[in-house]
Structure 1
Amino acid sequence: MRELSILKPLIALEHAAALDPVILKIHGVVDALLKPRALEDALHGVPAGHAVHPAIVLVPAGTWISAAVLDALPGTARASRILVGVGVVAAAPAILTGWADWARTRREQQRVGIVHAVANESAWVLYAASWFLRGRDHEALGRTLAYVGFGLVGFGGYLGGHLGYRQTAGANHANAVLTRFPEGWRTIGLLADLPEHEPVRREVAGEALFVLRQGGRVDVLADISTHLGEPLTDGVFEDPGHAAATITTAYGSVFDIGTGEVVHGPATAPAIRFESRINGEQVEVRLHRP
């Protein structure tokens, strides 16, 4: 089956560098608002273990879809206005979580994301106006604005699907390691060849590993961030010599090297961790399977 023709302008949108000056200005504003760090982690969905924006957006979308159905039926003006109002209120956390996720994505994703946000927030303005007008006996105009907003929500949702599935924003980029890495213990080299307190990259069966030796302890993670797939070995190593040493990736995710757990988002899934042991002079690893 052939792809829809709308995909061609969407692919072109990913490379629309003309949007970059606007993106940079908005990015600065969003960065200033994403404080303290605990707030940003909550908006990304770190406590939930996955992004919360796709789930939260179901509330305004669901109420507005229901309102669109009721608007086509007689005698439903009051119920429809209530649904529109609930959607307007529920859209606030959806907007906040969306901007938080957008600020920690690649530029190609941000270009699509900015249009996604404009479509959805224009719909929010129209629905707010619709709710206001319905309360002042301008029912016909209120319904018209709601249907225009409904169309924008549909377009924004399509862009959101492109972001989430075609561009894999919010997906776990390391999960495939769990199926690709071979079973059993695998040698990664001599213990003496691993520098102290300095992360290094090793490879086993075609899979890149992040390896950190601290004395007789060797911590090993898959060398790929669960957020956007950036290598952990390109990140910033903090607290060397401590059990709670962390690595901060290029997009700001912070992982505990000893456990792989997320210390701070935007990553929501833990890094893939390996067990390690010293066998003679060799360091061996195997995939940790809970």
Structure 2
Amino acid sequence: MVAETTNEKATSWMDTPPRSPLLRHYSAKLIANMPWLDKLSSPLQGWVNGLFGSPKDASYRIKDMLAGIWLGHPVHPILVTIPIGAWTSTMVFDLVWLANEDDDAMARSADMMMWLGLAGATGSAATGLANWVDTDGQEQRTGMLHALLNGSVTVLNASSAVLRFTGQRKTAIALSSAAYGLTIYSSYIGGELAYSDAIGVNRVIPEAGPDEYVAVMEASDLEPGKLTRVDAAGMPAVLLKEGSTIHAIAATCSHLGGPLDEGSYEDGVVYCPWHNSGFRMCDGAVVNSPAVYSQPTFAVRERDGKIELRRLEHA
């Protein structure tokens, strides 16, 4: 327990950096002391959201593709391996060349890996932007710093690539080495977003649900056409009755945990009230991003005047 003095200004835990280890503490403190990042984030998010449009717009399909609906998993973690791997190879080849400056094969290999990394950085940036655009608060600020660091890395490496063509290889290596140092810290920031802030994580995973049928409500109390939240052995579920059919999927949005029962329903699709992720009520499949993970579904039956649910599949 940590005592507070009566004159100490109260600070939300959301804005308080972790105490340990020191790297996380000072990294989070650094970001907390960068409010100017918010002035960049808000207009950028507004512009990107305007570019993608709404889920019913054809342009929104671009966001769905970048987010990874087709993959069932965010695309960004896959693509980031290309620039990081390529630029690591560039550094290794550069070090070998520095040991023997007559080794043209090492120079050519370093240059090829540099350009491969730049190509991969483009796709990585686009998919990262599609994931970041629906964040807010500390995650939004952290993501903005991550993007600025990656942008700086790309500019340094692009400059290095040009200098290599003009014969200024040692200066080019100095630039790419500085870029690699920034890459390491930016990767750390990206890890914070993924593993500490759980951006891109399936939020339904911690919920278990019943292997056997459990009663959740009186059948007579379920109103047709109304999203209704129930508890299935500790797992929130949302029900919808259409005619004689009752659909049931997990009520916790797989994207960032929004309550689907508080969302809207239209043409067989329930939309999350937080970020408008769309899921088919009949099978939990993702209709539109930002969610990429489908909602778990439930088998439904009526017995002795009660509605009973049993979870069907893994998240």
Quickly name the TM-score band, shorter chain normalised. Answer: over 0.9
Matched, 1:187 2:204: no
1:11: which partner in 2?
28
Following the alignment from structure 1 to structure 2, what is the Cα–Cα distance between the partners of residues 15 and 201?
Answer: 40
Instruction: Report the equivalent of 2:11.
Output: none
Correspondence for 2:304 among 268, 280, 285: 280
More divergent stretch after superposition (67-76 vs 110-119): 67-76
What's 2:117 paired with? 87
Q: Is the 8 A contact 2:202 2:254 kept in 1?
A: yes
Q: What residue number does 1:236 align with?
A: 264
Which residue is equivalent to 2:232? 204
**AA matched with 1:8:** H
**Alignment deviations for residues 57-107 of structure 1 (CA, whole Å, 9 cap, x no partner):** 111111100001111112222211111111112211111001111002232
Length-normalised TM-score, structure 2: 0.85
Please name the residue that 2:44 is paired with. 26
Give the structure 2 partner of residue 112 of structure 1: 142
Q: CA RMSD in A?
A: 1.7
Residue of structure 2 in register with 1:260 after alignment: 284
How many Å separate the matches in 2 of 1:163 and 1:276?
37
Report the counterpart of residue 12 of structure 2 in structure 1. Answer: none
Runs (5+) with no aligned partner, structure 2: 1-18, 54-58, 98-102
Quick one: which amino acid aligns to residue 67 of structure 1? T
* Aligned partners of 1:84 and 1:127 also within 8 Å: yes
Give the residue type in structure 2 aligned to 1:116.
Answer: H
Is the 2:269–2:278 Cα contact (8 Å) retained in structure 1? no
Alignment pair present for 1:53 and 2:81: no
C-alpha deviation, 1:3, in angstroms: 4.0
Runs (4 or more) in structure 1 with deviation over 4 Å come to: 14-18
Report the number of matched residues.
283
Partner Cα distance (1:113, 1:289) in 2: 33
Q: Aligned equivalents of 1:262 and 1:189: distance in 2?
A: 27
| 1:7-59 superposed Cα distances (whole Å, 9 cap, x missing partner) | 11343436865432221111112223335111111100110010010101111
Structure 1 residue 167 displacement after superposition: 0.6
In structure 1, the residue matched to 2:271 is: 247
Note if 1:78 corresponds to 2:108.
yes
Structure 1 residue 39 and structure 2 residue 62: aligned? yes
Q: Equivalent residue for 1:130?
A: 160
Using the TM superposition, give the Cα deviation of residue 191 of structure 1 relative to its aligned residue in structure 2, in angstroms: 1.3
Separation in 1 of the partners of 2:166 and 2:269? 60
Q: Which moved more, 1:63-72 or 1:31-40?
A: 31-40
Q: What is the identity, as a one-letter code, of the residue corresponding to 1:196?
A: P
Equivalent-residue separation in structure 2 for 1:14 and 1:191 (angstroms): 50
Q: Which amino acid in 2 is paired with 1:153?
A: T
- More moved, 97-106 vs 161-170: 97-106
Q: Within 1, Cα distance between the matches of 2:214 and 2:224?
A: 21
The answer to whether residue 198 in structure 2 is matched with residue 172 in structure 1 is no
Q: Deviations over 1:149-194 (max 9, x none)?
A: 10111111000111000111001010222xx223200001111101
* Local SS of the residue matching 1:6: helix
Is residue 44–residue 266 contact of structure 1 (8 Å, CA) maintained in 2?
yes
Q: Distance in 1 between matches of 2:67 and 2:32?
A: 23
Per the alignment, residue 16 of structure 2 pairs with: none
Structure 2 match to 1:98: 128
Partners of 2:34 and 2:247 in 1: CA distance: 41
Is the CA contact 1:221–1:272 (under 8 Å) kept in the aligned structure 2?
yes
